[in-house]
Amino acid sequence: MTHLVVVSQIIDLATPLAQELNLELVDVVFQTNKRPPVLRVDIRNPRADTSLDDCERMSRALEAKLDATEILSSSYVLEISSPGISRVLTTDRDFLAFKGFAVIVKTFAPYKEQKEWQGKLLSRDGEAVYINQKGKAIAIPRNLIAKVQLDDGG
Over 50: is that where the pLDDT of 35 sits? yes
Indicate whether this model's pTM tops 0.75.
no
Is residue 50 assigned to a domain? Answer: yes
Examine the domain organization and report whether 10 and 58 are in the same domain: yes
Q: Which of 81, 112, 129 is the last residue of a domain?
A: 81
Most distant CA atoms of the chain, gap in Å: 51
Query: How would residue 153 be classed by pLDDT, with cut points 50, 70 and 90?
Result: low
Weakest mean pLDDT among 6-20, 28-42, 124-138 = 28-42
Query: How would residue 154 be classed by pLDDT, with cut points 50, 70 and 90?
Result: very low
Q: Please check whether residue 84 is in contact with residue 42, taking contact to mean a CB–CB distance below 8 angstroms.
A: no
CATH number of 112's domain:
2.30.30.100
Is residue 29 assigned to a domain? Answer: yes
Long-range contacts, stretch 126-133, CB < 8 angstroms, 24+ apart: 129/95, 129/105, 131/103, 131/105
> In which domain, by residue range, is 61 found?
3-81
